[in-house]
Structure 1
Amino acid sequence: MKTIIFGGAILMLLTVAKAVFPLELHFLPLGGSAIAEMGVVLGISVAITTIAGLMRDRDDKN
């Protein structure tokens, strides 16, 4: 769950960074739109959480 919260904080930082440095960060938002950026960042957060959980379960069984 903490990874999802961290992903939300990253989304906020990306939004602020784009507003502060629009020319330097021309590639933002990731994926071309704010909705796509949310999908990319939160999707990666969910994937990391899932993989970490699977690895923890595997280590517990051994």
Structure 2
Amino acid sequence: MMKRLLACTAALLFTTLITACSPEVGSEAWCNGLQEKPKGDWTANEATDYAKHCVFK
């Protein structure tokens, strides 16, 4: 039980640290980062957000 709780806590902490370092959606850094990513690897949400925030400002 304790190992499971520790594993869940570690996973939550890791996820929080990863997302805290990501640029905010719609920021210039986010737009530039997405431009470098191959368009075939974009998710539907990324494509929608890119159009909304980077193309149609």
Fold equivalence (TM over 0.5): no
Query: In terms of Rg, which structure is larger?
Result: 2
Q: TM-score, normalised by structure 1?
A: 0.37
Higher helix share: 1
More RCO (CA 8 Å, sep 6+)? 1
